[in-house]
Structure 1
Amino acid sequence: MEILRIYESASGQKINTEKSSIFFSPNTSQERKDEIVSILGPMNDLRHAKYLGLPSIIGRSKKQIFAEIREKVGKKLAGWKGKLLSMGGKEILIKAVAQAIPSYTMSCFLLPMSLCEDLERDLRSFWWGQKQQESKVAWVGWKKMCKPKSLGGLGFRNLHAFNLALLAKQVWRIFTNPSSLAARILKAKYFPYEDILNAGLGSSPSFTWRSIFQSIEVIKNGTRWRVGNGRLIHIWEDKWLPTPSTFKVISPPRDFGDYPMVSSLIDQDTK
C-alpha cells in the first residue's frame, strides 16, 4: 500500500481498486487471499489473459497460446483470396501486412518453430494462388523466396530468423542501457555477476528470459569489441582483432594468471 501511495503521489494518478484485479499463486491459502484483498481494497481475484496485447501467463502449450496470431493472418489472407491481385500486389500485402502482424509479439517472445512454419505455409499457399483449401504446387522453395532480390529471391521474411533478430534488439538494449528498469531486473535475477552476453539460462527461467536468451548468440556472432582500456575484453574468447576471418586471437593461450584481459597486454607508459 505504501508503494501504491508513493506512485499516486508521484504520478498524480489514483488507483481505482474497483477496476483493478489481483491474482495469486495456486499455493496461496484462501485465508491469505482474503487477508490481502481486505488490505488492498475491493479487487477481484482474476487472471487477465492479456496485458498490453500480449499473453500475461505462458502455459506449457506455446503454440496454443500464440494461435491467435495465425488466426489473424488467416483472416487477412481469406479476405485477399477472393480479389484479383497481381503478383506485385500479393508481394506488397504479404510483406507490409501479413508478415507484420506477429512483429509486436515477436519482439517479446520466441514463437514456436512449428507456428512459424504454419504461418509460412499459409503465406506460400496464398502466393501460389490458393483460393479455398485446395493444394497448389510451389514452383520455388520458400527459403529461396526469402533471399534478397539481389540473390534471386523476393525478400520475404524468414519468420524464425526475424523473430531472433527482434529479440536480439532487446539483448542489445539491455547491454547498452544497463541502467534501465528491465535490464536491472533481468540482471539481478539471471546474470548478477556478468554481462548479458555471458549470461546463462538459469534455473526455472521465465518464458520472456528464455526467449531473449535464445537470441544472445545472434549478437555474439554479429559484433566485435572496439578496444579502449581492454578491461572487459577477454584475450582469447572475445572478438577484438581487425582480422576479418575470426576477429579472435588464434595463437595458443598463454598464462596471464587470473586476469587474461586485453588490458594486461597494454603498456600504460607507452605513448
Structure 2
Amino acid sequence: MAALGIHEIVNFEQYLGLPSLVGRKKKEGFNFIKEKVWKKLQGWEGKLLSQAGREVLIKAVTQAIPTYAMGCFKIPLGLCHEIETMIKKFWWGQKGEKRKIHWLKWEDLTKSKLEGGMGFRAIAMYNDSLLAKQAWRILKNPDSLQHKVFKARFFPNCTFMEAKCSSSGSHAWKSILHGREVLLRGCQWRIGNGKAMSIWQDH
C-alpha cells in the first residue's frame, strides 16, 4: 500500500459523508450522526427558545441531519432511540442532569397535529420509508445504473422482488432489501394479461 501511495481505509472513516466500511459494529459506524445531533442541541440549549422555536429547530434541522445516511443504510434501532431521547429532552427543556417532566409519550408526539401530536418524525420508521423509496426506484427503473450494478452482483438470474439476502451482501444491499420488505407489505399486482405474475406466490 505504501509503495503505491494508497491510503489504507480503517473502520469508521467516511467518504462523501457516509461510512466507507460498515462492519459488525454498525452502531459505532453511524455514531457520527448522534454526535452531530448532540452538537446542534448543545448549541441551542442555553438559548431562550419558545416551544414554537424548539419545534422549528427539531423539524428543520435536527431531524434532517440523519436523512442522507438513512436514505442509503438501515440505522441501528438503538441509535435511533438514543437520538430520539436527546430530542425529547430538548423539547421538554431539560438542561444537563436537571430532569423535566415529559408530559406526553414520544409516540404521541410523532402523531400529526390533526391527531393531537406535534408531527415529529419517528426516526426508525422514517429510515424504513427512505429505504423503501430506494427499493421502489430499483424496481421501477431497470435501466438505471443503480439497478444494473445491484442486479449483476446480487440477483443476476431473477427479478429484484425475488432476490435473496446473502451473508456476503453489503450493508447497503441488506438495507435496500429491508426497504423492499416495507414495499411488500402493501404491494399488489395490477392484473394485465397475467403473463408476468405467479398465481401461487404473488399478492
Same fold (TM over 0.5): yes
Q: CA deviation at 1:45?
A: 4.1
Q: CA deviation at 1:190?
A: 1.8
Alpha-carbon separation, structure 1, partners of 2:179 and 2:26: 18
Whose Rg is larger?
1
Q: CA deviation at 1:235?
A: 2.4
For 1:98, the equivalent position in structure 2 comes to: 62
The correspondence of residues 145-164 of structure 1 with structure 2, limited to 5 A, is 145-164=109-128
Do residues 74 (structure 1) and 38 (structure 2) align? yes
Q: CA deviation at 1:238?
A: 2.5
In the alignment, structure 2 segments of 5+ residues that lack a partner are: none
| Amino acid of the structure 1 residue aligned with 2:8 | L
Q: CA deviation at 1:135?
A: 2.3
For 1:84, the equivalent position in structure 2 comes to: 48
For 1:202, the equivalent position in structure 2 comes to: 166
In the alignment, structure 1 segments of 5+ residues that lack a partner are: 1-22, 24-32, 38-42, 240-271
Alpha-carbon separation, structure 1, partners of 2:99 and 2:201: 50
Of all paired residues, the percent bearing the same amino acid is: 47
For 1:18, the equivalent position in structure 2 comes to: none
**Runs in 1 of length 4+ with deviation above 3 angstroms?**
none
- Residue 158 of structure 2 aligns to a residue whose secondary structure is coil
Question: Deviations along 1:208-264, whole A, 9 cap, x unmatched?
Answer: 11111112111112332222222222224323xxxxxxxxxxxxxxxxxxxxxxxxx
Do residues 140 (structure 1) and 89 (structure 2) align? no
Q: CA deviation at 1:193?
A: 2.3
For 2:9, the equivalent position in structure 1 comes to: 47
The correspondence of residues 184-203 of structure 1 with structure 2, limited to 5 A, is 184-203=148-167
With the length of structure 2 as denominator, give the TM-score of the two structures.
0.92
Do residues 181 (structure 1) and 145 (structure 2) align? yes
Alpha-carbon separation, structure 2, partners of 1:137 and 1:211: 36
The correspondence of residues 58-73 of structure 1 with structure 2, limited to 5 A, is 58-73=22-37
Alpha-carbon separation, structure 1, partners of 2:119 and 2:8: 44
| Amino acid of the structure 2 residue aligned with 1:223 | C
| Amino acid of the structure 2 residue aligned with 1:47 | I
Alpha-carbon separation, structure 1, partners of 2:82 and 2:93: 17
Question: Deviations along 1:177-231, whole A, 9 cap, x unmatched?
Answer: 1122221121122222222222210232111111111121111123322222222
Aligned residues: 201
For 1:233, the equivalent position in structure 2 comes to: 197
